[in-house]
Amino acid sequence: MITPSARGVIQLMPTLGWIVAASTAMALIALPGSIALALPEKTFGKVALPLVAVAAGSLLGGALFHLLPEAVTLLGNHLAVHGWAADGVFTFFLPEQYLHWHHCHRPLAAHRPLGYLILIADGFHNFIDGLAIGAAFIASTELGIVARRVIAGPATRLSRQPCAPQ
């Protein structure tokens, strides 16, 4: 519940200010990944692969443990639901493998995943999150605050259960 004193703060800050504040907070969440780019090449080489693995695991975990069960709950356990999930994985896997095998000038034993498409997908995902938060703030400040919390809040993502059909 929003208290009267909090409502006063909400009304004083213009919508654009709330959007900028929420976007800045979300950018700060991504700051550790940006800092990794400033590391010396030798250190970056040691941490890049584990960071890409965490990013890929997070994206797959979100898709397979949250979105897929919710889609099955809402749409039914049909082959098409699982087919779209597999298409999403292969849409990024196949170009990644093409880039890996056709643009890598190292010996075969030294090949490693590139991770470019994972970074592109994550950037696109964050862009869509930003659009959703901005749209929510334009609808109402309270809705924007809730949307920012839901989108960026790790506690809500970990405890979220698939919703029941209506």
Cβ 109 vs Cβ 46: under 8 Å:
no
10 pLDDT above the threshold of 60: no
**Band (2; pLDDT cuts 50, 70, 90):** low
Question: Which two tokens mark 129?
Answer: 């999150």
**Band (139; pLDDT cuts 50, 70, 90):** very high
Q: Mean pLDDT across the chain, nearest whole number?
A: 75
Alpha helices by DSSP H, listed for the chain, are: 4-12, 15-29, 31-37, 41-62, 68-75, 79-102, 116-139, 141-152, 154-159
Q: How many residues would you count in the chain?
A: 166
- The pLDDT of residue 5 is 57
| Residue 113: CB atoms within 10 Å | 16
Give the C-alpha separation, 46 to 139, whole Å.
45
15 pLDDT above the threshold of 80: yes
Cβ 73 vs Cβ 163: under 8 Å:
yes
**Band (11; pLDDT cuts 50, 70, 90):** low
pLDDT single digits (tens) 72-131: 888 889 898 888 888 888 887 787 777 766 555 666 556 555 556 666 777 788 888 888
